[in-house]
Amino acid sequence: MSFLVLDSLKKSFGQTQVVKDFHMAIEKGEFISFLGPSGCGKTTILRMIAGFETPSDGTITINGRNQSGLKTSQRNIGMVFQAYALFPNMNVFDNVAFGLKVAGMPKAQIEGRVKEMLKLIHLEHLADRYPYQMSGGQQQRVALARALAPKPQVLLLDEPLSALDAKIRVSLREEIRQIQRQLGITTVFVTHDQEEALSISDRIVVMNAGRADQIGTPSDIYNRPSTRFVASFVGTLNIIDALVADPAANTIRIGDNVIPLREPIGALKAGDKVSIALRPEAGSLSESAKGDTALTGKVVSSHFLGSVVRTKFEVGGNQISFDMFNAPDKVLPQPGETVTLRFAASDLLLIKD
């Protein structure tokens, strides 16, 4: 049986249902990210696991034990908050020791455990500092040590990197992942930052309007988005309106281009509308239009973005972006110029609405 099971979870605030029949099974030691826009229900699920919110329906089971009826303080869960939430009247040592003191651990053991935790986050030298004497990154590392000190069975991270600057965010997320691997603790991470989710998760749950649109590995989520929402939310993606050309041959038509699809079109008829996704980095410019996985159209604009050049061209009423790596002698495609983009058939994804 899975370690953390969320079964038929529902949550309503008044008339508004923010979590709709959510199911998920998380294995021990897994790092799961809940990714989605504001108001999609990801934080509500986290708060239900923590016990801050009571589910309207459904159950949460941790290590085979139903958490219904258990207070937050009885769940043995660690949590790191977006706003650090260190106790301002306590120094680093006392903050990390708080959970251990509350649990009634002997003083000598508390000291040992706190030192161990401070060593883990490389802040042994700041044990006497107060929160206001530390940077945001340091405070969040202390918050992580405080959450881990009582050896929780699950670690919840509620957008812990959102309040930090970009450089600290990258280094801290790597540190969090490394500590999580080292301790093997089951972790649920909530974020609206796709790069964060893609870089540190074992699996990602993409949430949309209270439901999980897709649950999968970062590679699955990025390369094989199953819905239009996932495709548009994770990374930059071209969503192309196409028509079924020949269902028997599994081909579609985009403007004058007829292209085969790797995925089966299914029960659709010729002329039916379909949505196709194509990543901007998937293709490359080609001199000739030979081959069946190519799109030819007129350039609308070219933008220099530093390491890449993003060019938009129009095909059958769709504006399609593609990226090329920058090079000093690169000549940018000019508006009005006809270009051909070649790609692999597997790069085209059939999108469910």
**Binding residues for other proteins, per CB under 8 A?**
50-52, 71-79, 81, 83, 85-89, 98-99, 102-103, 130-133, 143, 146-147, 150
From the CB of 137, what's the least distance to other proteins, in Å?
Answer: 14
Nearest by Cα to 260 from 294, 238, 293, 225: 293
CB of 153 to other proteins, least distance (A): 12
Q: CA nearest 144: which of 111, 102, 182?
A: 182
Of 90, 84, 113, 118, nearest in space to 100 by CA: 113
Q: How far apart, in Å, are the Cα atoms of 348 and each of 186, 238, 274, 342, 351?
A: 35, 10, 12, 11, 9
CB of 225 to other proteins, least distance (A): 34
CB closer to other proteins, 51 vs 283: 51
DSSP 8-state secondary structure symbol assigned to residue 131? G
Concatenated DSSP letters of 210-222: TEEEEEE-HHHHH
Distances (CA, A) of 286 to 89, 242, 244, 325: 65, 22, 25, 15
Of the pair 131, 333, the CB lying nearest other proteins is at 131
Residue closer to other proteins by CB (options 32, 134) is 134
Nearest distance from C-beta of residue 126 to other proteins, angstroms: 14
Q: Which is nearer to other proteins, 82 or 293 (CB)?
A: 82
CA quadruple 267, 271, 275, 280: dihedral, nearest 10:
130
Pairing of strands 186-191, 31-35: parallel
Q: Least distance to other proteins from the beta carbon of 27, Å?
A: 23
CB nearer other proteins, residue 70 or residue 345: 70
Taking the least distance from each CB to other proteins, the nearer of 77 and 276 is 77
Q: Closest distance between other proteins and the C-beta of residue 72, in Å? A: 5
136-148 vs 107-120: helix crossing angle, rounded to 10: 130
